[in-house]
Amino acid sequence: MIGAMTRDELIAATRDLLDEGERLQAAPELSQLRRWLQRSDDLLSDAWGSMDRYHMAWLLVGRPKEIVRGRPMTADEEVAYVREVAEQKTAALRMSLHAVEEQGMPFRGETGGER
């Protein structure tokens, strides 16, 4: 858990994760994706609470359309997977940023900052 944060800190952390998500789409790497997903999951959970199964299914984050089962992914499949997941999670982060920055929605653990 990241803990209490200001609105400004949440906005800055979300923007950093958005930048990293865009870098992952441009230069896909599975190990970096895993670390980035954990950091973004932690931030979103701290800000909005844990997501229930409905929300996770709606976002489809981490579920590529073409799941490879029973064998390792080829290099091309891995690149496509990283790009797809990074694109989906980046979209979720953009929605979070929009809610905080433009709509002024309150979030868990908010300690102040500009609205």
pLDDT, one tens digit for every residue, the chain (115 residues): 456 889 999 999 999 999 999 999 999 999 999 999 999 988 988 888 876 555 555 555 555 555 667 788 899 999 999 999 999 899 989 999 999 999 988 888 777 554 4
H or E element in which residue 93 lies? helix 75-97
Distance (Å, whole) CA 115 – CA 110: 11
Residue 115 lies in a domain: no
Distance CA(27)–CA(37), nearest Å, equals: 15
Looking at the DSSP bridge assignments, the partners of residue 5 are 110
Whether residue 110 is contained in a domain is answered as: no
The total number of structural domains that make up the chain:
1
Helices 7-26 and 75-97: angle between axes, nearest 10 degrees: 160
Q: Is 21 among the domain residues? A: yes
Residue 98 covered by a domain: yes
Backbone angles phi, psi at 17, to 5 degrees: -65, -35
